[in-house]
Amino acid sequence: MPEFGKIGFIGAGQMAEALARGFSNGKMIKFEDVVATDPTEARMKVFKDLGAQTVTDNKQVVEKADVIFIAVKPQYVGVVLKEVRSSLKDNHTIVSIAAGVTLAQLKEAAGDVRLVRVMPNTPCLVGETASAMCLGPKATDKDAEMVRKLFSTVGQCIQVDESLLSAVTGLSGSGPAYVFLMIEALSDGGVRAGLPRDIAQALAAQTVLGSAKMVTETGKHPGQLKDMVTSPAGTTIAGVHELEKGAFRSTVMNAVIAAANRANELSKQ
């Protein structure tokens, strides 16, 4: 019996694939212990080609798996859980990654089963996810330990109160998209200044990676690290001044808040 039993994915889209590949790269699971389902044949093929078992009925995932990831869009979570409710047993742990769908809504649809909410992000594909989880009333310490262990192999997983999960969604759930925009914009800037595209993109990505590492490894405040780059009357302050004119920091803050608000709206649908 594998450590986590069989892992099921209801919904085999982008995030399910990122998780499954990440868990497999982190040697937490083998694809032969994964069972997945999705209405889109092309998505089933992705999982089949990776070595997972694919089934055509959501109930079959529940019958075959012990840990079941609900990885459909938020508006379908209730429908999917009601569909499989009668097949859920004591051995099952349900892990929903859907933005905005609350533990109370999950319980209403699935019944009083062991529920965990996780908000991951796509960098789990490269072992660098920033994720947060919260536990439903029936989830056990073992469930918490299992989910933490799974997600810790693909990055970080912190336990938070459910009231913070929309803020987590706005920051780290959606955050990779903001960072990708930043990398694209840095590359475009480099191209505008005369660099070939491939060199610009490599420099932009490595600059973001190295800067993030300086924050995590030195523990210094980002403002202090910014000051270390910024020579008096130098080049950097000229660039920083342009960003401040464009309200860079408040725009990024507003992006996080807009995404968190959207997660709260999804809870009300």
Ligand X SMILES: NC(=O)C1=CN([C@@H]2O[C@H](COP(=O)(O)OP(=O)(O)OC[C@H]3O[C@@H](n4cnc5c(N)ncnc54)[C@H](OP(=O)(O)O)[C@@H]3O)[C@@H](O)[C@H]2O)C=CC1
Ligand Y SMILES: O=C(O)[C@@H]1CCC=N1
Residues annotated within the binding site for NADP(+) are: 10-15, 71-74
Q: Determine if 81 is a binding residue for ligand Y (CB under 6 A).
A: no
DSSP string, 218-261: H---HHHHHHHH--TTSHHHHHHHHHHHTTHHHHHHHHHHHHHH
Query: Which is closer to ligand X, CB of 11 or CB of 190?
Result: 11
Considering only residues 167 to 186 of the shown chain, the ones binding ligand Y according to CB under 6 A are 169, 173-174
Site for ligand Y (CB under 6 A): how many residues?
Answer: 4
Angle subtended by helix axes 175-192 and 248-267, to nearest 10? 150
Structure tokens at 2: 């594998």
Question: How far, in Å, CA of 222 to CA of 213, rounded?
Answer: 11
Order across the sheet with 114-119: list the strands: 53-54, 34-37, 7-10, 67-70, 93-96, 114-119, 129-135, 155-159
In whole angstroms, the minimum distance from the beta carbon of 70 to ligand X comes to 8
What does the DSSP 8-state code read for residue 67?
E
- What's the one-letter identity of residue 145? E
Q: Are strands 67-70 and 93-96 parallel, antiparallel or unpaired?
A: parallel
Are 95 and 38 within 8 A, CB to CB? no
Give the CB-nearest residue to ligand X.
13
Q: Name, in order, each residue with C-beta under 8 angstroms of 159's C-beta and a sequence gap of 6 or more.
A: 132, 133, 134, 135, 144, 148
155 makes contact, choosing from ligand X, ligand Y, none, with CB < 5 to 8 Å by partner type, with none
For position 136 contacting ligand Y by CB under 6 A, the verdict is: no
Indicate the residue among 58 and 93 with the shorter CB distance to ligand X.
58
Q: Which does 58 bind (CB under 5 to 8 A by kind): ligand X, ligand Y, none?
A: ligand X
CB of 127 to ligand X, least distance (A): 16
Residue ranges at the known binding site: 10-15, 58, 71-74
Smallest distance from the beta carbon of 97 to ligand X, in angstroms?
5
Stretches 88-96, 127-135, 166-174, 249-257: which one binds ligand Y (CB under 6 A)? 166-174
Distance CA 186, CA 208 (A): 10
99 is a contact residue toward ligand Y (CB under 6 A): yes
Comparing CB distances to ligand Y, the nearer of 123 and 136 is 123
**Chain contacts with ligand X (rule: CB under 6 A):** 10-16, 37-40, 43, 58, 71-74, 76, 80, 97-99, 119-122, 173
Nearer to ligand Y, 129 or 174 (CB): 174
Q: State the binding partner of 80 from ligand X, ligand Y, none, CB within 5 to 8 A by kind.
A: ligand X
Closest by Cα among 187, 152, 105, 108 to 179: 187
Write out the residues near ligand Y by the rule CB under 6 A: 99, 169, 173-174
